[in-house]
Amino acid sequence: MDSRNDPTALLARILAIVSLFVGLGDAAAVLGIGAAAAGQASTAGFIFLTALSVTRLFAAVGLWIGMQWGALVLLASLVIEIALYLSGSDWVRLSLWGFIFKLAILLATIGIFGFAQVLGRRHAAD
């Protein structure tokens, strides 16, 4: 994802900002700030939320500078979180709107990969 010539750069930067805010929200919950702080009762849930927070912050940096690993890190963290939520794990607690929001971010991340593939094939054909 070359940020100078690639139209996906704007989408990646928007996704980076979203990832930054989600990561900071998770960090606030880890630190006990806000309404989401009461959701983590177990030690494993606390550790998992801390790891998610750090990975999303790293993903935001990677997306902002236009590196593909940023999208991969965000994709991996979202897939793991959604899979644990759907399996009924105590480690992840989401509201319905939180689940829909994270699913939308997951689909946007997959969309960026697909859009980059289409553009790459078009440039290769030219």
pTM for the model: 0.85
pLDDT per residue as tens digits for the range 41-81: 678 888 888 999 999 999 999 999 988 899 999 999 999 99
Please report whether residue 85 resides in a domain: yes
Q: For the chain, how many structural domains are there in total?
A: 1
Please report whether residue 1 resides in a domain: no
- Tell me how far apart the alpha carbons of residues 23 and 78 are, in angstroms, rounded to a whole number: 11
φ/ψ region of 93 (left if φ > 0, alpha if ψ in -120 to 50, else beta) reads beta
Please report whether residue 48 resides in a domain: yes
Please report whether residue 71 resides in a domain: yes
pLDDT per residue as tens digits for the range 12-46: 999 999 999 999 998 888 888 876 555 556 788 88
Structural domain containing residue 103:
8-125
Please report whether residue 3 resides in a domain: no
